Each structure stands twice: as C-alpha cells, then as structure tokens.
C-alpha cells in the first residue's frame, strides 16, 4: 500500500512541475497532478502486486 501512495505522490509532484514548466495555470497544474498521480499509482499497484507475489 505504501508503494502505491508513494508513487501517487511522486506522480502528482511531477505533474505539477511539468505543468509549471509549460507555463500552465493553477487548473492545468491540478489536472496534470491528477493525471500523473493516477498513472503513477497504477504503476505502483503493479509493482506492489509483483512484490507480494514474490514474497508470499
């Protein structure tokens, strides 16, 4: 679970930085943060499932 949350936070931060670099408004930053956060959370979920399968 921590992997998923960590990846979601990392994605949100990268999304905000990407929108800021492209001179986006606050709404752009929020949308990029949500999109990147969801995408990174899905990647974190896959990593978490792989780790659980390997350990158990």
Q: Mind listing the pLDDT tens digit for each residue in 30-48?
A: 999 999 999 999 999 999 9
Give the pLDDT of residue 19.
Answer: 97
Q: 19 is written with which tokens?
A: 């929108």
- Cα separation, 36 vs 20, in Å, equals 14
- Cα separation, 18 vs 24, in Å, equals 9
pLDDT beyond 90 at 11: yes
Is the pTM of the predicted complex or chain greater than 0.85? Answer: yes
Residue 29: which pLDDT band, with cuts at 50, 70 and 90?
A: very high
48 Cβ neighbours under 8 A, 6+ residues apart? 1, 3, 4
Q: 46 is written with which tokens?
A: 């896959």
Report residue 43 CA to chain centroid gap. 8
Give the pLDDT of residue 1.
Answer: 85
Residue 23: which pLDDT band, with cuts at 50, 70 and 90?
A: very high
């Amino acid at each position: 679970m921590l992997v998923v949350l960590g990846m979601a936070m990392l994605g949100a931060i990268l999304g905000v930085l990407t929108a800021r670099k492209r001179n986006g408004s606050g709404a752009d930053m929020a949308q990029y943060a949500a999109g990147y956060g969801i995408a990174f959370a899905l990647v974190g979920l896959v990593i978490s499932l792989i780790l659980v399968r390997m350990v158990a």
